Amino acid sequence: MRFAVTGALIFASSALLLAWQLPGPRPEQDQGAGDEPVIRINVDLVNIFFNVKTKKGGRLVPGLNKEDFKIFEDSKEQTIKAFTRESDLPLTLGLLIDISASQENLIEIERQAASQFFSTVIRPKDEAFLISFGKSTDLLQDYTSSPRLLSSALKDLRGDGQTPMIAGSPVPVNTGPIGGSIGTPKGTLLFDAVYLASDEKLKREVGRKALILITDGEDQGSTYKIHDAIEAAQKSDAIIYSIYYVDRGFYAQYGAGVGGGEGDLRKMSEQTGGHVFKVDSKHPLNQVFQEIQDELRNQYSISYTPVSTSRDGSFRRIEIKVDNPEDRVQAREGYFATKNDAE
C-alpha cells in the first residue's frame, strides 16, 4: 500500500524526460483514485536515512542505537523523536546508464552486472525504473517490481551512435524537443537525466529513494547545471550513488585525458548522502553493485520535529554525530524547507 502525505514536511534521505512522453501520476498516488486510502499526517517531521561507516576501511557499522547519535539542524541540536534500523523498508530505485560514445564499449558488462543486481536487490515491495542517457534521455522501463522486466529492458541498451565529443573532434548537433535551442550541441545529458529523473519520477514517491548512475561523469550539452541536478535530488529526497566507470582506451585513442567527471559525481553523491564507487580491475562492477546493495539494506533512520517550523524554502543544514570517534556518518547535507506540493 502506498500513502499520499499532505499537510506535512516529510523529508526522506536515503537516497523524462528529454526523449519520451512521461506517464501521468500512477493511480495509487492520486488522491481519491481507486480504492486506495489517503493518509493525511498533520505534523512537521524530518526523516533522514543514513549509513555509518568506519573511518578506516569504510566498513558498514551495524547494531547502533538511538543513544549513539545526536542530530543538529543549522547547528542547533534537535530532539530525536524516532530511531530505527531500516534494512527492509520498501525501496524506490532508478538506474541511469550512460550510453554516449565514451561508454559504448562498456555496455555489455553494465548490462550483465545490472541484471544480476536487479535480481538480488528488488523485492516484492520495491520498485525500480531504468533510464539510458547520451544525446537524449530514454525511459527503457517504467516502475516495476519485476526483475525479469528490468532485465529484459536492459537488453535494449545500445550506444547512441553519436560522434565522439572530445576536444578537437567533431561536435554533433541535437535538436530534441526539450532542453535548449536548436543547434545547441548535445553529447552526454547527465545533469538533465538526474534533474528530470528526480523531479518527474521520484518527487511524488514516499519512503526510501535512490538513483544509481553508471557513467564517467562527463556532461556535455545539458540544459540543467550540476547545482540544478543536486537541488532536484535533494527536493525529491533521493540519494545518488555514482559508479565512476571509465573506458580509458576510448580517451587514449583520441589522445585525450579523462576529464573532471569524477569530481562532479562526488559532489552530487556527497551532497545527497550517497557515495562514489570506482570500477577498476581490482574492483569490478558486480562487486560495486553488491556494495550498493549492502548500503541500501543497512541504513539507519532518524526522525525529529525541527525547532524552526517556518516553511520559507530555505536550505536547512543537517549534521548527524555518532559517539564513536572511529566511525563517520554518511548522510545528506540537508533539506529544503518547502511546503508539501499537495497543500
- From first to last of its 343 residues, the chain has per-residue pLDDT tens of 332 333 333 333 333 333 443 444 444 343 333 443 333 333 478 999 999 999 999 999 999 999 999 999 999 999 999 999 977 788 999 999 999 988 999 999 999 999 999 999 999 999 999 999 999 999 999 999 999 999 999 998 988 876 655 543 433 333 333 333 333 446 799 999 999 999 999 999 988 999 999 999 999 999 999 999 999 999 999 999 999 999 877 767 766 666 679 999 999 999 999 999 999 999 999 999 999 999 998 999 999 999 887 888 899 999 999 999 999 999 999 999 887 543 3
**Whether the Cβ atoms of residue 131 and residue 97 lie closer than 8 Å to each other:** yes
- The amino acid at 198: S
Residue 27: all three cell numbers together: 493511480
* Integer Cα distance of 243 and 280 in angstroms: 11
- Sequence ranges of the domains in the chain: 9-86+298-336, 91-296
**Whether the Cβ atoms of residue 310 and residue 75 lie closer than 8 Å to each other:** no
- Taking alpha carbons only, the member of 133, 107, 117 closest to residue 245 is 107
* Integer Cα distance of 81 and 39 in angstroms: 20
**Whether the Cβ atoms of residue 273 and residue 49 lie closer than 8 Å to each other:** yes
pLDDT tens, position by position, 46-104: 999 999 999 999 999 999 999 999 999 999 999 999 999 977 788 999 999 999 988 99
Q: What b/e readout covers 121-144, taking b as 16+ CB neighbours within 10 angstroms?
A: bbeeebbbbbbbbbbbbbbbbbeb
* Integer Cα distance of 92 and 297 in angstroms: 13
Helices (H) and strands (E) in the chain, counts: 7, 15
User: Is the CATH number of domain 91-296 3.40.50.410?
Assistant: yes
DSSP 6: -
- Taking alpha carbons only, the member of 121, 50, 78 closest to residue 308 is 78
Q: Is the pTM of this model over 0.85?
A: no
- Cβ partners under 8 Å of residue 209, min gap 6: 12, 14, 15, 91, 92, 93, 202, 236, 237, 238, 239
